[in-house]
Amino acid sequence: MVDTASFKGRDIISMRDFSREEIDFILDRATDMIPLVEKGSDLLRGKILAALFFEPSTRTRLSFESAMCRLGGSVIGFAEPKVSSVVKGETLSDTIKVVESYSDVIAMRHPSEDAARIAADVASIPIINGGSGPWEHPTQALLDLHAIRTTKGNIDGLTIALVGDLLYGRTVHSLAIALRNYDVKVYFVSPKQLKMRDDVIKDVAGRLDYVETEDLRKVLPDLDILYATRVQKERFSDPADYDKVKDAYLIDSTFLKGVKRDLKVMHPLPRITEISTDVDDTAHALYFRQVKHGVFLRMALLALVLGAL
């Protein structure tokens, strides 16, 4: 049985580590947090979150910080590794061993795929992965599921397209793995060069009803959720390769003619050219409301791993 004891002291590293019951439990706790955003709460008073961001971030870092503040806790950390001892050559393991003396939980983003696991291995306090290179971004997947469930009423039964950079986009890796727990139909829509990475395909095979395609227009009328992603420029070694695929899918209000009336367009943000601003004011746009779920979800996760619920 899943209860709060299942999460106390736990690391949040990969969606591969979570069952459907656990995911649903976290989503329920995120819903419980919604009234506390306005009312305020002392649930995490005296607790300290260390936010260690070795890669750029707006939403993930600020929503972790906002979540901690909403629950009465405090935040320390850095948003720029150049101001930390990393520039002097300190290893990640040493940084983590030090920071755990100053805090109760660490949220971390790092360019290396293994960073979150390495940190979790050395730390005695919970590590929450806020993005580990192109590998995974589990808290984003959870907030995406919470946004979907809140908007659509449930996740089972939906037809969902993950669109864009499925090779380097860590949000879609975590989301695809999470969705293998639900009764959904998923289209992986990408240019040939940016097909879903092999380890994700291997881990969803047999558990997720998915189809890989390059043709978004063809699947568009079936969709309940269109989840667009940015082509991850920073992961390309040759800028010419990036230029070839950067505008592979451009979604504007004209393109959306003929979709289901209640199709929701999602995006982890930041968007570059994937979604035109003329979609923003349509009933399809969920992306700016989606970000709010990051606060509810991260409030729930912090409270759970700190054993406060």
The site for ligand NCD (CB under 6 A) is made up of 59-60, 131, 137, 140, 170-171, 230, 268-269
Report in angstroms the alpha-carbon separations of 62 from 31, 261, 281. Answer: 20, 33, 25
The distance of closest approach from Cβ of residue 143 to ligand NCD in the complex, given in angstroms and rounded to an integer, is 9
| Separation between Cα atoms, residue 53 and residue 77, nearest integer Å | 8
Of the pair 230, 293, the CB lying nearest ligand NCD is at 230
Would you call 197 a catalytic residue per the annotation? no
Would you call 137 a catalytic residue per the annotation? yes
Would you call 60 a catalytic residue per the annotation? yes
Would you call 109 a catalytic residue per the annotation? yes
Would you call 70 a catalytic residue per the annotation? no
Comparing C-alpha atoms, which of 199, 222, 208 is closest to residue 178?
208
Of the pair 137, 246, the CB lying nearest ligand NCD is at 137
- 75 in the Ramachandran plot: left (φ > 0), alpha (ψ -120 to 50) or beta? beta
The distance of closest approach from Cβ of residue 257 to ligand NCD in the complex, given in angstroms and rounded to an integer, is 27
| Separation between Cα atoms, residue 181 and residue 37, nearest integer Å | 29
Token readout for 228 is: 């667009």
Of the pair 80, 94, the CB lying nearest ligand NCD is at 80
Of the pair 43, 225, the CB lying nearest ligand NCD is at 225
**Contact criterion met (CB below 8 Å) for 125 and 132:** no
Residue 221: asked if its preceding bond is cis (omega within 30°), the reply is: no
The catalytic position among 47, 61, 110, 137 is 137
The distance of closest approach from Cβ of residue 113 to ligand NCD in the complex, given in angstroms and rounded to an integer, is 13
The catalytic position among 10, 29, 47, 60 is 60
Of the pair 57, 84, the CB lying nearest ligand NCD is at 57
**Contact criterion met (CB below 8 Å) for 208 and 196:** no
The catalytic position among 10, 29, 59, 293 is 59
Q: Count each helix (H run) and each strand (E run) in the chain, helices first.
A: 10, 9
The distance of closest approach from Cβ of residue 109 to ligand NCD in the complex, given in angstroms and rounded to an integer, is 7
Radius of gyration of the chain (CA): 19
**Cβ contacts of residue 136 below 8 Å, gap of 6+?**
13, 14, 15, 116, 129, 170, 173, 174, 177
Give me the sheet containing 74-78, strands edge to edge: 74-78, 48-53, 105-110, 127-132
The distance of closest approach from Cβ of residue 169 to ligand NCD in the complex, given in angstroms and rounded to an integer, is 6
How are beta strands 159-163 and 225-228 bridged, if at all? parallel
Of the pair 59, 185, the CB lying nearest ligand NCD is at 59
The distance of closest approach from Cβ of residue 210 to ligand NCD in the complex, given in angstroms and rounded to an integer, is 21
Which of 74-107 are b and which e, b meaning 16 or more Cβ less than 10 Å from the residue's Cβ?
Answer: ebebbbebeebebeeeeebeebbeebbeebbbbb
Catalytic residue positions, numbered = 59-60, 88, 109, 137
